[in-house]
Structure 1
Amino acid sequence: MEIRTATPSDKPAIRDVARRSLQSSYSLSPQTITSGIEEWYGEQQLDASLESTDRRLLVAESNDQVVAFSESTLTADRPWVTGEEDQGRDALMLWLHVDPEHRGEGVGTTLFDETIDRLRESGATTVQGRVLANNQAGTDFFEAHGFERVGRTEIEIGGRTHVEYRYVAEPTGLEPLESGSQTVYVDHDESEGGSEAPFHIVYTDPDRENRYGYYCDNCGQLANAMDAMGRIECDDCGNRRKPTRWDAAYL
Structure 2
Amino acid sequence: MTVAIRPATSDDTGDIRAVVDASFRSSYSLSPLEIDVIVDNSFTDAALTERIEDHDSLLLVAEADDDAGESVVAGFAELETADMLRWLHVSPAFRGQRVGTALFERVQSESNPRNCPLRARVLETASEGRQFLERFGLFQTETDSLDLGGDHLEEHVYTTTGERVAPNDPDVEVPSSVTDDDETVRLDHDESVPGTLAPFFVLFETDSSFQRYGYFCSHCGSTDVVADGLDRLKCQRCRNTHRADRWDRAYL
AA of the residue aligned to 1:5: P
CA displacement 1:93-125 (0-9 Å, x = unmatched): 00000001111111111110111111223x151
* Paired residues for 1:125-204 under 5 Å: 125-155=116-146, 157=148, 161-169=152-160, 171-172=161-162
1:118 and 2:125 equivalent? Answer: no
1:103 and 2:95 equivalent? Answer: yes
Shift of 1:160: 5.3
AA of the residue aligned to 1:120: N
Shift of 1:69: 0.6
- How well do the aligned residues superpose, as a CA RMSD in angstroms? 2.3
Question: Could you tell me which residue of structure 1 aligns to residue 212 of structure 2?
Answer: none
Question: Could you tell me which residue of structure 2 aligns to residue 91 of structure 1?
Answer: 83
Mapped partners of 1:49, 1:107: distance in 2: 22
Q: Secondary structure at the match of 1:12?
A: helix
How many percent identity over aligned positions? 32
The change in CA–CA distance for 1:124 and 1:54 in structure 2 (over 3 A counts) is farther
CA displacement 1:153-211 (0-9 Å, x = unmatched): 35554765543211012x1569xxxxxxxxxxxxxxxxxxxxxxxxxxxxxxxxxxx9x
Shift of 1:134: 2.5
Question: Aligned match of 2:42 in 40, 43, 49?
Answer: 40
**TM-score, normalised relative to structure 1:** 0.58
Question: Could you tell me which residue of structure 1 aligns to residue 32 of structure 2?
Answer: 30
CA contact (8 A) 1:32 1:158 kept: no
Q: Which runs of 5 or more structure 1 residues have no equivalent in the other structure?
A: 75-89, 175-209, 211-251
Q: How many pairs were matched up? A: 159
List 4+ stretches of structure 1 deviating above 4 A: 154-161
Question: Aligned match of 2:77 in 65, 70, 83?
Answer: 70
Shift of 1:26: 1.4
CA contact (8 A) 1:17 1:99 kept: yes
Mapped partners of 1:167, 1:58: distance in 2: 20
CA contact (8 A) 2:37 2:148 kept: no
CA displacement 1:33-71 (0-9 Å, x = unmatched): 122212211122111111111111000001210000101
CA contact (8 A) 2:141 2:163 kept: no
AA of the residue aligned to 2:119: Q
**TM-score, normalised relative to structure 2:** 0.58
AA of the residue aligned to 2:75: A
Mapped partners of 2:90, 2:163: distance in 1: 31
Question: Could you tell me which residue of structure 2 aligns to residue 231 of structure 1?
Answer: none
Mapped partners of 2:77, 2:89: distance in 1: 6
AA of the residue aligned to 2:96: G
Question: Could you tell me which residue of structure 2 aligns to residue 179 of structure 1?
Answer: none
CA contact (8 A) 2:58 2:78 kept: yes
CA contact (8 A) 1:11 1:46 kept: yes
CA contact (8 A) 2:86 2:121 kept: yes
The change in CA–CA distance for 1:30 and 1:124 in structure 2 (over 3 A counts) is farther
Shift of 1:126: 2.4
